[in-house]
Amino acid sequence: MRIGVPAQQSNDELRVAITPDVAKRLIAAGHELIVEFGAGTKAGYPDDQYRDVGAAVTTAEDVWNCDFVTTIERPAPSNLDPSVVVVGMIAPFDDPDEMISLAATGATIFALEAVPRTSRAQTVDALSSQAAVAGYQAVLEAAAASDRFFPMLTTAAGTIRPSKVVVLGAGVAGLQAIATARRLGAVVSAFDVRSAAAEQVESLGASFITVETEPQDASDSGGYAREVEADQQERIIAGLAPYIVDADAVITTAAIPGRPAPLLITEDTVRAMRPGAVIVDISASTGGNCELTRPGETIDVDGVLIIGETDLVSRVANHASQMYARNVMAFIELITDPDSNELRLDYSDDIVDGACIARGGAIVHPRLLPEEGS
């Protein structure tokens, strides 16, 4: 199979979908790798590293003429024709109209965000691998921006108490944020609406914040949190406010696939925080968990820094690309015949079927189809 790897077009997207080490393994398995000039340069993988493992480094036109193209950003419809199979992180549930445009090209579109959250699918789950990167980087951003040490320090000048860090949302990003903040020596507490999260939070040495609200069972929603009713949302906001006001740093990670990020921190709560405190809003790209978050910006509100940057994962582009590329390789292995290395799209496989957004000129993912009677 001819596998194309395009360069990403966004200035703040530094990752590459296939790294040289994964390219080498795919070539050894019998595939042909076609990489666009400069595709990996921003992630620390120059063109010569791809050439050294046997990949062809060439133009975007050649890349998009491949049988199979793997990307990170959503592809432009103008690049697609009915013969191509595309796999990437294309945010399918954030912009249904754009998915219709992509489907109209006739290309077969797979979104790694749509992979089912099952044990068997873990090696393909790029959403989780990249969320872990975001959680890690968010804590480093908070520590760098904070006016206080994270760990306790005992010095000749006296003892400095550790920073208090609050993590909102205990999914993959939140758990990685907890683990990273704990490694830096902070005192960490965390909240999640899912009932199973408390045990996971406490296993990492953090304390779980309890708010009087109806807990959710993650198994009912594929492992993700669901939207809550307005009255529950108000109770959550009110219950979290004292912990946030007392915090030196807050990492917010709460997200609901295909929906705006839930509001967890109001303007009043921000203005009650101490000057020098930091909020890092990982969910900024879908509106943010903080009422004052501005996606793509860092702002100062009465001395409280609110970091709403949307390129956190790209700030660790080298390792993030390694993780993503391994997810892509696992998907390629799933959809190719091991004997011929030709495409074998078996839609009876729950991973292949679950990740498929469009094929044959039509949207096929059930979450993007109109509901009956609508």
* Amino acid identity at 237: I
Please tell me which residue in 2, 224, 259, 294 is annotated as part of the active site: 224
Q: What is the 3-state secondary structure (H, E, C) of 252-311?
A: ECCCCCCCCCCCCECHHHHHHCCCCCEEEEHHHHHCCCECCCCCCCEEEECCEEEECCCC
- What is the Cα–Cα distance from 133 to 316, expressed in whole angstroms? 7
- Residue 307's CB is within 10 A of a number of other CB atoms, namely 23
Q: Known catalytic residue: 50?
A: no
Please tell me which residue in 8, 49, 128, 285 is annotated as part of the active site: 128
Please tell me which residue in 8, 74, 125, 324 is annotated as part of the active site: 125
> In terms of Cα–Cα distance, which of 106, 103, 139, 119 is closest to 249?
139
Q: Known catalytic residue: 125?
A: yes
Number of helices (H) and strands (E) in the chain: give both, helices first: 11, 17
Please tell me which residue in 10, 122, 195, 219 is annotated as part of the active site: 122
- What is the Cα–Cα distance from 42 to 56, expressed in whole angstroms? 18
Q: Known catalytic residue: 271?
A: no
Please tell me which residue in 25, 117, 274, 344 is annotated as part of the active site: 117
- What is the Cα–Cα distance from 361 to 134, expressed in whole angstroms? 34
Angle at 9 between CA 7 and CA 14, to 5 degrees: 70
Tokens of 282: 């990982």
Helices (H), the chain: 20-28, 47-52, 60-64, 96-103, 126-145, 172-183, 197-203, 230-245, 267-272, 317-335, 350-355
Active-site positions?
117, 122, 125, 128, 224
